[in-house]
Amino acid sequence: MMNERRSAVVAGHGRFAEGIISAVAQVMGEGHGLVAVTNADRTPEGIEQSIREALERTGSTVLFTDLPAGSCTFAGARLARSIPGLQVITGVSLPMLLSYVAGGALEKVIEQAQAGIRLLGGEG
């Protein structure tokens, strides 16, 4: 169970962020402190502004994005130059967010997410 509420912004393509946050809520319950931002129908400046507003609203300095070379990550990188301490983590996954919400340190969260990747079946 979660000891303290940890906030973060999750940004991605389409409804990705909403969907992955919904999955976190199903596993961990509500009150997880995650806020979704989409890049849908937004310019690069619009994405950046939406992320900035979400970070300000939550007071968070953590941004998870879907793709390392995606528009949300680029916006996050630009924001990191003007927001002291902003940490942008790309390639977000459900195990990563669950570990973060449960209180894991970001380095450990990333390490555990990478360690959990498996190929099942087929012949390598």
In a domain, 5, yes or no: no
pLDDT at 1: 36
Which pLDDT score is estimated for 4?
Answer: 54
The answer to whether 73 and 65 have CB atoms below 8 angstroms apart is yes
Total tally of structural domains belonging to the chain: 1
Q: Which of 79, 3, 2, 88 is nearest to 48 (CA)?
A: 79
CA trace torsion 71, 16, 58, 64 (10° rounding):
-60
CA distance 21 to 41: 20
Whether 7 is in a domain gets the answer no
Asked whether residue 119 is assigned to any structural domain, the reply reads: no
* Cα(15)–Cα(61) distance, integer angstroms: 22
Task: Kindly state the percentage of the chain with pLDDT values over 70.
Answer: 95
The two tokens of residue 15 are 């409804």
Residue numbers of the domain that contains 96: 13-109
The DSSP code sequence of 28-48 is H-S---EEEEE-TT--HHHHH
Task: Report pLDDT for 3.
Answer: 42
Residue 4 domain flag: no
Condensed to tens digits (0 to 9), the pLDDT of residues 3-12 reads: 456 899 999 9
Distances (CA, A) of 97 to 10, 55, 107: 9, 17, 13
Q: What is the pLDDT of residues 74-109, one digit of tens each?
A: 999 999 999 999 999 999 999 999 999 999 999 999
Whole-structure pTM value: 0.91
Domain containing 89 — which CATH number?
3.40.50.510
In a domain, 98, yes or no: yes
